[in-house]
Amino acid sequence: MELPQFWQITPIAIGALVVGTAHEVGRQRLARRQTDAHRRARWHRSLAFYTGLVLLALVASGPLNRWSMSWLSIHMVMHVLEMFYLPPLLILGAPWVPLLFATPAGRRRQWLRWYHLSRSGALLRGPAAVLTNPVVAIVLFNGTMILWHLPAVYDWASWHQWAMDWVMAPMFVVTGYLFWRVILPSHPVGPRGSTKIQVAAVVVTAFEMLVLAMSMAIFTKTPWYSMNIAMDGPVAALRDQRWGAGILWICGDFWAVPALVLIAYRLYGAEGGVSASFERALGRV
């Protein structure tokens, strides 16, 4: 059976199908031991998770992916969706408990004992602790953004479709998830970063996006990427590059401002009012 034009099978779509199936198995097993209120809450969170998976699969495997090989502006749309807007749905969907319950109880307990208590499990615990460190997550996120837009790296990836599908896009999603976990809770665990780190994450990342966008649009008079030049010519390629920079720049406001508002709301909602909230943000109380 052939896929429709502009559609393809990608690792993100395969992963979304596998993870979504396992999550639903775990959710059904959890439902047998939960009250009605807990089942409803879990179902609402699961809807957010499934929505994120479906949208990720559509973005990665649908026409946007094919068109992104021709237009840098479409690539920027994909980039922003995969790093800034879809990972929060996965996080708010709180998938880890249902995914654990996807395996039988005996196997699950055996695996958890091995991971948390065995010496060999330390081979995973160490890297996991590093990756989930808030500062490391912020550095990886911003480093990934810069790396894949360096002309040499992007040129190589644009001439190798497999690199876009198997390396670039998964890195966008994974580092996006790690970054947003610094700011967002994922039931039953709160955000990984302190308030100061959360604010720093938003400010540093928004500033980096601004510099990258200005570098692509204002600080250059020539297009950066060879495939776009080869397909469209230098004039059209530069125009498309400036459109892509604009998308990156404008979308910085769309995610950064709500993130800062959320952080401020948490501070204000804490006991003690505005002045005490600022004291907590500065680490004085």
As given in the structure block, the two tokens for residue 253 are: 């406001």
Residues 191, 94: contact at Cβ < 8 Å? no
Q: What is the pLDDT of residue 123?
A: 86
The whole-number mean pLDDT for each consecutive block of 10 residues of the chain, a chain of 285 residues, reads 73 94 93 88 94 95 85 91 95 93 88 87 89 96 95 91 91 96 92 94 94 92 90 92 90 85 82 46 45
- Under a CB-based contact definition with an 8 Å cutoff, are residues 64 and 73 in contact? no
Q: Which two tokens stand for residue 268?
A: 């204000």
Q: What is the pLDDT of residue 3?
A: 64
**Residues facing 25 on adjacent strands:** none
pLDDT at 2: 61
Contact present, 201 and 193 (Cβ < 8 Å): yes
**pLDDT number for residue 112:** 86
Stated pTM of the model: 0.89
Cα separation of 15 and 70, whole Å?
25
Q: What are phi and psi of 189, to 5 degrees?
A: -110, 140
Tell me the C-alpha distance between 45 and 39, whole Å: 10
Supply the pLDDT for residue 273.
Answer: 47
SS3 labels along 84-152: HHCHHHHHHCCCHHHHHCCCCHHHHHHHHHHHHHCCCCHHHHHHHHHHCCHHHHHHHHHHHHHHCCCHH
